[in-house]
Structure 1
Amino acid sequence: MTTTDASAGTILHLRFHRADFETYRELFTVLGDTTPVIQALPPDSALLDLAGATRYFGLTPAQLADRLQTRLAARYGLASTGGIGPNRMLATLAADAATPGTVHVLPDDPEESEHFLRSRRLRALPGIGPALERSLARYGIETVGDLADLPPATVQRIAGVSTGRLLHERAHGTDRRTVAQAGPPAGITSTRRFDRDVLDPAELRRALLAAATDLGARLRAAGQIARTVELQVSYADRSTTTRSRTLREPTAHTPALQRVLYELFSALALQRARVRAVTVRVGEPAAAARTAEQLTFDRLIEDARALEPVIDRAGRRFGSGAVRPAALLSPGPHARRAMGQFG
């Protein structure tokens, strides 16, 4: 946990390594002891405005960042990497350039900060995606410096008026976004841990089916639907991979959750990866009664939806899991029972 240079910046972008969903939520208690101005960037980052904290604690932003890293490491065993700059964009770019476990502080010297920004690849700027990057590359524009050297009218001609104006500002280090106070999103989580390394895709898909079944039942019991689904895969070396998706139509239906989880898992293209746990979180819950449900005209899907209230009533009367998919009747001797809790 080292820092470099002094900085006039007070925005800290902090990334947490190997934090599961529940730990990520708990981290904000520690962060809030330093500053109340925190914006969650799920699944593993946060923005902090340290302006008030520097005056209150009498410490520099770099010292506050080191203090936070030490507390997170001591309490959760988590390593973290950060960047400090005068605005959100530059703090994020500094974090991108930091050595893992350190905090990179942009220098106070304007010329050095400008050199740092100009040397970044175009994709580093917020607002530039793959398509726009390809369009700019056709004109020989490959770095932020190349973009900054163009007249504003030229950038607007390539990217459009509003986007071009925004990119011209950001290429010169201006970012008008502020740190918006927002904690981690509420959600419901289900985790399935294994007593050994699992390589069998079929067993992993059973775990995802169990999570979808668990979460669907709990959402329906609470009268809620979810708009987002997040999948976190934990490996034998304690590293993790997280993927998420925003649903076109919020849902509490098990088959819909199952389908999204299978798609997220397949997109990982894991080959011989030794998996120790899968965790699923459904987020952005809303009251189901206030949302209209779109008909699919798919007989299998509609039959499954019609059956869900029957399964839910059986679960309330005879206990959770009284009726469940046949694929879960023999989940294997090495898998533990799925565990879940409200986030």
Structure 2
Amino acid sequence: MNIATRVTVLHLRIHGAPFDTYRELFTVLGDITPVVQALPPDSALLELDGAIRYFGQSPAQLADLLQTRLAARYGLLSTGGIGPNRMLATMAADAAAPGTVSVLGDDPVEQAGFLRTRTVRELPGVGAALERSMAKYGIQRVGDLADLPVSTVQRIAGASTGRLVHERAHGTDRRAVTPAGPPATLTSGHRFDHDVLDHEQVRRALLAAAGDLGTRLRAAGQATRTVELQVTYADRSTTTRSRTLREPTAHTPMIRDALYSAFTSLGLQRARIRAVTARTGNLAAATGTAVQLTFDRPTESHRTLEPVLDRAARRFGSGATVPAVLGRRLPRGQDTR
């Protein structure tokens, strides 16, 4: 096991944080260390070396302090993992019970014992396709991968990917924690006046949110690459799903389809839904993005129509024009924008 030069990293996962609250959390995290990297929609990486020296506390004590502050200020449960690099901290967090912190000690033997038992899919750089390829050769655990010569792994995964995942199977992760807050986002949503089971009501709310986000993106001259959906249930628990678009866009139908896809992926049956919130992230200037022609008549017709709808919104106000399906008003509720 060749563990890289040690830097103490905490991977903190915050459960059920609404989009806007997630951004606020970085004030709390920044009180402990300035080296904080956002991992939307619910996690962050913190490099703790400076904080350990400054506060005179152990990594576990600092993690407990953060968990206590997040619970006290926001009522949020968090789970953490501490390790000598990003990868091991994340894997430790994945193995921790909710509300706890899993700490990988300084002993390389302990670290190797933990790592060898994990599945190869848990290694950064191993996706579903590579996992299937490895399974054909009986490589299922990280230990199986670590025991192979690097040349054998490269024959399976390719030269660069093979070298990378072989390094990571031996505990090496060269990625640094890069200070970065949550990306700029736009948020739109709807809170129902009663918990709903009817998925058609939810889809209408998502359609309205897509229209709102598309209009605001175009007005700001921006395009989005990611779309996230947060569903809040009757018991106030939440689920978040995200979709990465093929190209940056401010086109309402593409945002709508991403939201519909995220909602369908939840596979909800009898869940009572209290609110839905949509967010667009990874924003960029629309002038710097290319638009791929779809040769789909309805899609291209809507692209042509959107500037007209935007001018109507600027002149007569938001909601001056809506899709026919929204002619019947959504169930009365609170706009969560």
Instruction: Work out whether the TM-score is over 0.5.
Output: yes
Whether contact under 8 Å (1:203, 1:331) holds in the other structure is no
Residue 218 of structure 2 corresponds to: 220
Aligned to 2:227: 229
SS of 1:233 mapped into structure 2? strand
Superimposed CA distance per residue, residues 86-124 of structure 1 (whole angstroms, 9 cap, x where no aligned partner): 111111111111111011111222222211111112111
TM-superposed CA distance for 1:46, in Å, is 0.6
Moved more, 121-130 or 15-24: 121-130
Q: Deviations over 1:254-290 (max 9, x none)?
A: 2221122222222222111211111111112222233
Which of 284, 287, 304 is the aligned partner of 1:286? 284
* Cα distance, 1:214 vs structure 2: 0.8
Q: Which residue of 1 aligns with 2:335?
A: 338
1:293 shift after superposition: 3.1
Structure 1 equivalent of residue 72 of structure 2:
74
* C-alpha separation in 1, matches of 2:205 and 2:220: 23
Is residue 84–residue 106 contact of structure 1 (8 Å, CA) maintained in 2? yes
Deviations 1:202-229 (A, max 9, x none): 1011000110111111111112221211
Whether contact under 8 Å (1:12, 1:82) holds in the other structure is yes
2:309 paired with 1:315: no
Alignment-derived partner of residue 194 in structure 1: 192
- TM score, norm. by length of structure 2: 0.94
Deviation at 1:337, TM superposition (A): 4.6
Q: Percent identity between the aligned chains?
A: 72
What secondary structure, in the 3-state scheme, does the structure 1 residue paired with 2:228 have? strand
Query: Following the alignment from structure 2 to structure 1, what is the Cα–Cα distance between the partners of residues 155 and 243?
Result: 33
Q: CA RMSD in A?
A: 1.6
Q: What is the distance in 2 between the residues matched to 1:24 and 1:202? A: 29
Equivalence for 2:203: 205
Structure 2: unaligned runs, 5 residues or longer: 1-5
Matching residue within 122, 126, 133 for 2:120 = 122
- Could you say which residue in structure 2 is the equivalent of 1:108? 106
What SS does the corresponding residue of 2:299 show, helix, strand or coil? helix
Task: Determine the structure 1 residue equivalent to 2:248.
Answer: 250
Partner SS for 2:333: coil
Report the TM-score when normalising by structure 1. Answer: 0.92
In structure 2, the partner of 1:271 is: 269
Q: Which stretch shifts more, 86-95 or 234-243?
A: 234-243
Q: Quote the residue 1:25 is aligned against.
A: 23
How many residues align? The count is: 332
* Alpha carbons 1:229, 1:281 under 8 Å: kept: yes
Note if contact 1:9-1:106 (Cα within 8 Å) is conserved in structure 2: no
Aligned residue for 2:3? none
For the structure 1 residues 63 and 339, does the alpha-carbon distance in structure 2 shift closer, same or farther, using more than 3 Å as the test?
A: same
Deviation at 1:236, TM superposition (A): 1.6
Q: Tell me the secondary structure at the aligned position of residue 84 of structure 1.
A: strand
